[in-house]
């Protein structure tokens, strides 16, 4: 069968990651992409998910559905984060196995690694010491997904791959004032300040934690690249290799939207992990690397932000 005819079930196709994967699959000429709205198939519903997968029998499942958010949401809604992520992914992974689907791309997050992991973080750091408390519930759910894929590969000889992306940004991101990630939150705040001629804004935390950031289309490319690969490893880090302090991202955004502004730091808000940069040498060994610069990625992201909200 031609690569472009494989039957792919993509979950979460309206989200930041899923919509990027969908766009790029279409652009590349993939003809057989299955998506379904949450209203028609809530992935928390085990029997419906199992039936759907048995009926569709996809060759590949890419799971981009999940409950996702920034530091505030991760801490406040930790019960929802652990429950929804573990149930959705268990339904997808076990349902795919029952439907005879041998190939899954499971998406985790760099927060599965210990708070004080040696930098840049290698895949082997998993479970080597304690997690960051604010996102522990989310991380535990994701670790369960990783271990589940590993166990199914071991026992059932499947080819389930877990890609661990770093912080992402791009078109279609979530700009919710409390639940978004740090980068879209900064874009929204600085844009709002410019529009309303506000000359000083507060940034959550000290501004000092370092974050690696990657344009979402680079992750989409990684998903497409690895879905065609049979890999020896089931856990593979996906990152840009580029990191900066949160305060420097704020300065970058202000400069790139041409606005001079002062930043103050709300130190009563938590910082989270001090640094989390991924070691991506394993992905590079397989032949994948990120290619979008922050300047180009930001231009596309801000254009989309203006189209959606201005
Ligand atoms: N964003 C990042 O910086 C980042 C970084 C690393 C890893 N990731 C991983 O990438 C994946 C996707 O994240 P994202 O940023 O694209 O999140 P997102 O924008 O919030 O999209 C998630 C999608 O999943 C859907 N979904 C959630 N629960 C569902 C359910 N029960 N049934 C059906 N659909 C459901 C959501 O639909 P509704 O909106 O209708 O609920 C949404 O379309 C996640 O696994 C995440 O861990 C993201």
Q: Enter the pTM of the model.
A: 0.97
Catalytic positions are 138
Which ligand 1 atom is the nearest neighbour of the CA of 110?
Answer: 6
Which ligand 1 atom is the nearest neighbour of the CA of 172?
Answer: 19
Q: Say what the pLDDT of residue 215 is.
A: 98
Tell me the CA–centroid distance for residue 263 and ligand 1, in Å: 30
- Ligand 1 first shell, C-beta below 6 A: 12, 14-18, 38, 42-44, 64-68, 84, 88, 107, 109, 165, 167-168, 174, 181
The superfamily (CATH) of domain 3-171+213-240+277-292 is NAD(P)-binding Rossmann-like Domain (3.40.50.720)
Per residue in 87-100, pLDDT (tens digit) is: 999 999 999 999 99
113-148 residues labelled b (16+ CB within 10 A) or e (exposed): bbbebebbbbbebbeeeebbebbbbbbbbbbbbbeb
pLDDT of 307 higher than 90: yes
Tell me the CA–centroid distance for residue 281 and ligand 1, in Å: 26
Mean pLDDT of 46-55: 98
| CA-wise closest residue to 6 among 50, 54, 49, 56 | 56
Sequence spans of domains, the chain: 3-171+213-240+277-292
Tell me the CA–centroid distance for residue 196 and ligand 1, in Å: 31
Q: Say what the pLDDT of residue 113 is.
A: 97
Which ligand 1 atom is the nearest neighbour of the CA of 88?
Answer: 31
Token pair in block for residue 5: 């005819």
């Amino acid at each position: 069968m031609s690569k472009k005819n494989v039957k792919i079930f993509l979950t979460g196709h309206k989200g930041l990651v899923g919509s990027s994967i969908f766009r790029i699959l279409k652009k590349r000429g993939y003809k057989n992409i299955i998506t379904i709205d949450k209203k028609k198939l809530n992935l928390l519903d085990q029997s419906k998910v199992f039936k759907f997968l048995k009926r569709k029998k996809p060759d590949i499942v890419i799971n981009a559905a999940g409950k996702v958010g920034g530091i505030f949401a991760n801490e406040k809604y930790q019960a929802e984060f652990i429950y929804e992520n573990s149930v959705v992914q268990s339904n997808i992974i076990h349902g795919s196995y029952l439907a005879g689907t041998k190939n899954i791309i499971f998406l985790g997050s760099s927060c599965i690694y210990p708070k004080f992991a040696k930098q840049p973080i290698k895949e082997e750091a998993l479970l080597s010491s304690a997690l960051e408390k604010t996102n522990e519930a989310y991380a535990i759910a994701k670790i369960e997904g990783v271990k589940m894929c590993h166990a199914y590969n071991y026992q059932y000889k499947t080819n389930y791959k877990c890609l661990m992306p770093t912080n992402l940004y791009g078109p279609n991101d979530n700009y919710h004032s409390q639940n978004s990630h740090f980068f879209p939150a900064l874009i929204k705040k600085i844009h709002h300040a410019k529009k309303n001629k506000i000359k000083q804004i507060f940034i959550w935390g000290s501004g000092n934690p370092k974050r690696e950031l990657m344009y979402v289309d680079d992750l989409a490319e990684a998903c497409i690249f690895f879905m065609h690969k049979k890999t020896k490893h089931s856990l593979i880090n996906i990152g840009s290799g580029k990191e900066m302090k949160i305060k420097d991202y704020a300065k970058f955004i202000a400069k790139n939207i041409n606005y001079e502004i002062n930043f103050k730091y709300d130190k009563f808000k938590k910082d989270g992990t001090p640094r989390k940069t991924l070691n991506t040498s394993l992905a590079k060994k397989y032949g994948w690397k990120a290619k979008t610069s922050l300047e180009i990625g930001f231009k596309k992201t801000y254009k989309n932000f203006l189209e959606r909200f201005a």
